[in-house]
Structure 1
């Protein structure tokens, strides 16, 4: 049976529920857009239309290649003998195929839309599949292209005062034409230039999508929209702005603007999504929050 508890704070409340959870907590606490709070019968403590807005995420699309050597994870998955041997090797030595991460190599590069800094990220993945959990019978590899600097913006909103009610999350992926054309550029770069056939190459042929899709703008755009996915880097729904700015949710000290004794310390405060994985940035935010809190306590 579910039990409810009341917990009181004597100093500050630090909200660290992430780019999805944090704005929902604030909204249900009466901090957010007036119309949203009113619709859900929540008394407005602080009207701020930016709580839950500005949602950003990294979107990816993939190419799948058949390889000429049986050295991908597909071979292990489809062989009971290799599964057993790989398991034994890991158990005895903590080495071998089962120590391989999801992405074994990667790089950053720029599309034709942005020459100032990389806006695309490549991940090389040592297996291939058409659906999660079921690898191809033939050896293969997957190449993922991620658009790092999206123009598209979404939002996160509560549907109810009930914290167990699922929220409304609108990512608006590829809402910007620039986001779409950047990924198209990246996939074509991979298909046409990255894997060059030579005597030592183990990359055999492009399996998914086929070459006709790569060469046709409309077909490639449809493929990206239909089969692309998130890589789970949501940010920016409680964005940080300067102390004197009249928009945003938190200030540079991570304090919720126009309120006292409440801070946010997670990916939601990032104003614009970073050009890469968000883990290190979130750790930095946490470390900075700790320093700020300790500094205030000593003051």
Structure 2
């Protein structure tokens, strides 16, 4: 028998409520826990997991680099990274920051772009702006140890020897340097960069003077292997490769839309190509380019 109608709530008798209400509470708890786990697995507010495609980078793709086992890609509209296990994540704190170069230095991952320099202490999940820079826009960036190279269109090349606390202007005439700058970890006075005027360029005096390596003009990115021997330069629609530090060069085939390249710590060559407003990333395997999903 059921109780009087006055004892019913939402059409349920007291006896039914004793069964249904606990089940509803369990269902709500499952939903809440599942949501929290999903947010945690995608990085919470720091980063957002993407699906099958590469990260959102906007209308221009500028730089690709690696740090702490992660592969980072950035452009005018955004940046993201790929974990070793696969899958791309969007970095919310770098949205619309026009990141043009990466640097792993002084225990941090640095990104240079519009409004200056950004630093991460959590392997690239989140970034905060670095205060006190001598320029407002970083078009080139690189580092090793506590030494950081930064280039800007309004000020040329600046170098910091204290992890970015202070910068010294070294080459005011080299505002054409852009992208990720390779800094020799064994001798920070040696660096190789891409120049929109001279192609791949090299300094051996801490950024004060730069010499063209003969790869051609108008380069947007230069990938440098360990020791500065293997070089891969992305130009405007073409690519050049050198296996002797820049003495000899040969043409190289690249996927359409490629505008950035990087050598991993394992010596693998990776390139990033713009596909709409997202990045497609490829790894060189022999003479082929395999996509990294």
Per the shorter chain, which TM-score range?
under 0.3
Structure with the largest fraction of helix: 1
Higher RCO (C-alpha under 8 Å, 6+ residues apart): 1
- Calculate the TM-score normalised by the size of structure 2: 0.23
Q: Normalising by the residue count of structure 1, what TM-score does the alignment of the two structures yield?
A: 0.22
Larger radius of gyration: 2
Higher strand share: 2
